[in-house]
Structure 1
Amino acid sequence: MCKQQDQADFQRVTDVVQRYFTGLHHGDSQLLSSIFHPDAYLKAPQLRRGLAEWLSLVEQRAKPIDNGDSFDYQILSIDVIGQQAMVKVLCPLLGRTYIDFLGLLYEDQQWRIVNKMYADIE
């Protein structure tokens, strides 16, 4: 792949992550659903959730924007290799701080999150 394509993929992955942040902040399960692959799993130590279960929880919880929370999400690192990407992000959310590792694949002409691992840090 040429450098120009690498840059384009890097930007597309960044765009997906920005939509992820917006979806979290607004509690927008439809937006989040559009950037996750349907068979994605969310994983933390001793915890596994399918996408539908997690999206249901997002819909039920308080929305950070309604709480007046700042939009302080950050991309900490992005690695794009071919049609795979790994992104590390910081998500201050509802009084807690999470580090998420998002695995993305480029399939069917789009980048989508296929895996999310996360930890609540103190």
Structure 2
Amino acid sequence: MSASDSVQIERLVEDYFTGLHRADRALLDTVFDDRAQLQAPGIRRTKAEWLELVVSRPVPAERGDAFAYRLEAIDLFGEQAVVRVYCPLLGREFVDFLSLLKEQGRWRIVNKMYADKP
């Protein structure tokens, strides 16, 4: 993993965490590819469908929830990466697997799989 790619991916993940915590649709829109899919067992959503859910639910930052998200792993191969993150969100604990592609010099999330932490 090049230092540049590592820094870019870490910044993208930090923006993802901030977007979740603040329910910031515009920020989340920048980290996801327009055709991204968001999936969990029994759930399939488009980016637009998921963003609507994010802005319609309670906002963690406004509730006073701790900003306790963390990046757990990056697996990088060329211009593809899979990132595992921990997201405590609205009283639940999620583990997300984010698939990223680097296109036109920018990393974007193209797929998100998530589930409650067992």
Tell me the TM-score normalized by structure 1: 0.94
Question: Aligned letter for 1:114?
Answer: V
Amino acid at match of 1:68: G
The answer to whether 1:47 aligns with 2:74 is no
Q: Which position in structure 2 is the counterpart of 1:107?
A: 103
Question: Residue by residue, what CA displacement relative to the aligned partner does 1:59-78 show, whole Å, maximum 9, x if unpaired?
Answer: 10000000100000001101
SS in 1 for 2:3: helix
Deviations 1:16-46 (A, max 9, x none): 0000000000000110001100000000111
SS of 1:89's partner is: strand
Distance in 1, Cα, partners of 2:37 & 2:104: 19
Paired AA for residue 92 in structure 1: P
1:76 is aligned to 2:79 = no
Question: Alignment partner for residue 59 of structure 1, among 55, 61, 64?
Answer: 55
Q: Distance in 2 between matches of 1:18 and 1:109?
A: 18
- Give the total of aligned pairs: 118
The CA RMSD measured in Å over matched residues stands at 0.9
1:15 aligns to what?
11
Aligned to 1:90: 86
Q: CA separation in 2, counterparts of 1:88 and 1:109?
A: 22
Q: Report the AA paired with residue 88 of structure 1.
A: R
Structure 2 CA distance for aligned equivalents of residues 77 and 64 of structure 1: 24
Structure 2 unaligned regions, length at least 5: none
Q: Tell me the TM-score normalized by structure 2.
A: 0.97
